[in-house]
């Protein structure tokens, strides 16, 4: 799509996993390569944000840049590179390398929502479990589950909205939170239960099982 750029964040350390999970192959293709391919299907430029000291040996269609100490810092590095490359980028997609099972439909839905006027769009799935706030071993509050959703990537942004949300720095586990804090209009589209993030080894095993062909 003209005017669409994508940032794949792949500069994490994978502390909970125990390894830089984004470079592990899943059914023959590394998580980072899967995320880039998914982005390249909808974006005309893709930047991949990598840990320091990595020589990029993946798709030449992705421009490698070095990330930061936090996810937000890595997104900023990717965004700066994307805008420097193509200042006319109207819509920016931010996608976690750690989500190998994001469907094309999710990318199309978030981009369409931004093209439709939102500052940002995120895929979200209703929360099934009751969510409580805890402090140490004490449960201190129970949140009202109605109206709670769990949010995924790919997230899409009007480039100017994402840039102004990031300009003052700021840290959040997703970029939409920075746009919300900046007063931007953030909408959600239906996410996919398949599009879970690979956080620990059990998630990786689950994703691998989903990619095994059904017996006939």
Binding of ligand CTP by 71 (CB under 6 A)? yes
To ligand CTP, the closest distance from the beta carbon of 14 in angstroms equals 4
User: Quick check: 7 binds ligand CTP (CB under 6 A)?
Assistant: no
User: Binding to ligand CTP by residue 48, rule CB under 6 A?
Assistant: no
**Choice between 15 and 144, CB closer to ligand CTP:** 15
Question: Is the CB of residue 58 less than 8 Å from the CB of residue 43?
Answer: no
Smallest gap, in angstroms, from Cβ of residue 38 to ligand CTP? 13
Nearer to Mg ion, 73 or 114 (CB): 73
Alpha-carbon distances of 54 from 8, 39, 48, 57, 79, rounded to whole Å: 15, 21, 12, 9, 19
Cβ nearer to Mg ion, comparing 40 with 150: 150
Which residue's beta carbon is nearest to the bound ligand CTP?
Answer: 12
| DSSP three-state, residue 179 | helix
In the complex with Mg ion, the residue whose CB is nearer, 45 or 177, is 177
Q: Which stretch binds Mg ion (CB under 5 A): 10-18, 49-57, 113-121, 193-201?
A: 10-18
Q: Is 99 within 8 Å of 152 (Cβ atoms)? A: yes
Told to check if 67 binds ligand CTP by CB under 6 A, we report yes
Smallest gap from Cβ 28 to ligand CTP, in A, equals 19
Q: Is 207 exposed, middle or buried (0-12, 13-18, 19+ CB in 10 A)?
A: buried
The site that binds ligand CTP (CB under 6 A) totals a number of residues, namely 22
Residue 118 · residue 87 · CB < 8 Å: no
Q: What is the DSSP string of 139-172?
A: EEEE---TT-EEE-S-EEEEHHHHHHHHTT----
Distance between CA atoms of 192 and 177, rounded to whole angstroms?
20
Give which of Mg ion, ligand CTP, none residue 16 binds (C-beta under 5 to 8 Å, depending on kind): ligand CTP
One of 36, 45, 46, 49 touching ligand CTP (CB under 6 A): 49
Q: Which does 11 bind (CB under 5 to 8 A by kind): Mg ion, ligand CTP, none?
A: ligand CTP
Give which of 95, 205, 203 is closest to 151, Cα–Cα.
95
CB of 59 to ligand CTP, least distance (A): 16
For residues 51 and 39, what is the distance between their CA atoms, to the nearest angstrom? 20
Which residues form the interface with ligand CTP (CB under 6 A)? Answer: 9-17, 22, 49, 67-71, 74, 96-98, 197, 199
């Amino acid at each position: 799509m003209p005017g669409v750029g994508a940032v794949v964040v792949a500069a994490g350390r994978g502390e909970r996993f125990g390894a830089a999970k984004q470079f592990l192959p899943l059914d023959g293709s590394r998580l980072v390569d899967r995320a880039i391919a998914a982005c390249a299907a909808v974006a005309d430029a893709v930047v991949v944000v990598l840990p320091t000291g990595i020589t990029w040996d993946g798709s030449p269609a992705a421009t490698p840049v070095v990330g930061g100490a936090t996810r937000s810092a890595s997104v900023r590095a990717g965004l700066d590179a994307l805008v420097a490359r193509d200042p006319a980028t109207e819509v920016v997609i931010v996608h976690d390398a750690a989500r190998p099972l994001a469907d094309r439909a999710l990318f199309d839905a978030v981009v369409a929502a931004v093209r439709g006027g939102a500052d940002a769009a995120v895929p979200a799935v209703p929360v099934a479990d009751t969510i409580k706030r805890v402090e140490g071993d004490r449960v201190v509050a129970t949140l009202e589950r109605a109206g709670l959703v769990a949010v995924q990537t790919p997230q899409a942004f009007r480039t100017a909205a994402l840039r102004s949300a990031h300009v003052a720095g700021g840290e959040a586990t997703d970029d939409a939170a920075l746009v919300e804090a900046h007063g931007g209009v953030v909408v959600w589209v239906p996410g996919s239960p398949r599009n879970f993030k690979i956080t620990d080894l059990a998630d990786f095993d689950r994703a691998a099982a989903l990619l095994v062909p059904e017996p006939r």
